Amino acid sequence: MKKFLKTVSLILTLLFSLGVLAGCGSEPAKKSAIDQIKERGKLRVAVFSDKPPFGFVDANGKNQGYDVYLAKRLAKDLLGDENKVEFVLVEAASRIEVLEADKVDITLANFTVTPERKEKVDFANPYMKVALGIVSPEGAPITSVDQLKGKKLIVNKGTTAETYFTKNYPDVELLKYDQNTEAFQALKDGRGAALAHDNTLVFAWSRENKGYVTGITKLGELDAIAPAVKKGNTELRDWINTELTKLGEEKFFHKDFEETLKPAYGDSVNPEDVVVEGGAIK
């Protein structure tokens, strides 16, 4: 305790003197990014801790999920042991920061590639893809967008589903909700004919809620989900890309799907709608 307080007070004193030194901060000597990881003996990966089935912590406190499965494999191939990975738990809002501040080597947190994010981090090739999915009651399934004309469709505010339908199908009436739970409840109450959201989410939901089917599994533009590294860390990015190509040959992500996503999605989902092998979306 004494030592801790000492450290804290030392840090405080240091901080106050920082204002003066702020201008002189210099970059540490550049070492190969991969050598640094090997020297440390741990691959630091940012993952989600509450977004099943992609990244979550199970009842025994272990990290699990589609992203975690990949992270362990990367550690195994880079450092020879799948346990040589240190999971740094992140929130959606801090996924870029942890890379910029060098708190992790790779972010594997269901990170969708967008032009804005590309300015701040470097994305490797994708390992997963999302599109929109539409879930509807089994009794009155919606299997094509044309069936929605003149009917009400439930969406979440601020999601790709909302933008997509406002732009492309203005004659579909939208019912908008803030929260996922509200939106799904509205579908159960019969307030709309169907609900549109990320296909991965509606897959998982329709499996747990009997009487509903995902009539449309792939709609709109495909969004890619990819590992991200710190801007300028091309060495690590290139290594991940080679790794993804190699993993593609052994159909690694199909195995990943079987292990982590299938228990949540069931047989109703075709892995080809979600999984990306070899880093290239076909």
Residue 86 amino acid letter: E
- Indicate which single residue of 3, 93, 167, 211 sits in contact with another protein (rule: CB under 8 A): 93
The H or E element that residue 132 is part of is strand 128-137
Name the segment binding another protein (CB under 8 A); options: 16-24, 145-153, 165-173, 231-239: 16-24
Give the three-class secondary structure for 55: strand
Name the segment binding another protein (CB under 8 A); options: 67-75, 98-106, 114-122, 157-165: 98-106
Nearer to another protein, 61 or 139 (CB): 61
- In our burial notation (b when 16+ CB lie closer than 10 A, e otherwise), range 10-37 reads eeeeeeeeeeeeeeeeeeeeeeebeeeb
The H or E element that residue 244 is part of is helix 234-249
Name the segment binding another protein (CB under 8 A); options: 13-21, 128-136, 164-172, 219-227: 13-21
Tell me the site size for another protein, rule CB under 8 A: 39
Residue 5 amino acid letter: L
- Indicate which single residue of 90, 130, 135, 194 sits in contact with another protein (rule: CB under 8 A): 90
Nearer to another protein, 87 or 252 (CB): 87
Peptide linkage before 53 cis (omega within 30 of 0): yes
Largest Cα span, the chain: 71
- Indicate which single residue of 28, 115, 150, 211 sits in contact with another protein (rule: CB under 8 A): 28
Torsion angle of C-alpha atoms 22, 28, 34, 37, degrees rounded to 10 = -70
Q: Scanning residues 129 to 188, which ones bind another protein (CB under 8 A)?
A: none
Measured at the alpha carbon of residue 76, what is the angle toward residues 70 and 204, in degrees to the nearest 5?
20
Contact status: 94 vs another protein (CB under 8 A): yes
Q: Residue 89 burial by CB count (10 A; 0-12/13-18/19+): exposed, middle or buried?
A: middle
Contact status: 56 vs another protein (CB under 8 A): yes
Contact status: 29 vs another protein (CB under 8 A): no
Smallest separation, CB 125 to another protein (Å): 27
Contact status: 4 vs another protein (CB under 8 A): yes
Contact status: 262 vs another protein (CB under 8 A): no
- Indicate which single residue of 81, 91, 138, 258 sits in contact with another protein (rule: CB under 8 A): 91
At how many degrees (to 10) do helices 234-249 and 66-79 cross?
110
Smallest separation, CB 204 to another protein (Å): 7
Where does this chain bind another protein (CB under 8 A)?
4-5, 7-8, 11-12, 15, 18, 21-22, 25, 27-28, 49-52, 56-61, 88-91, 93-94, 97-98, 100-103, 204-205, 208, 264
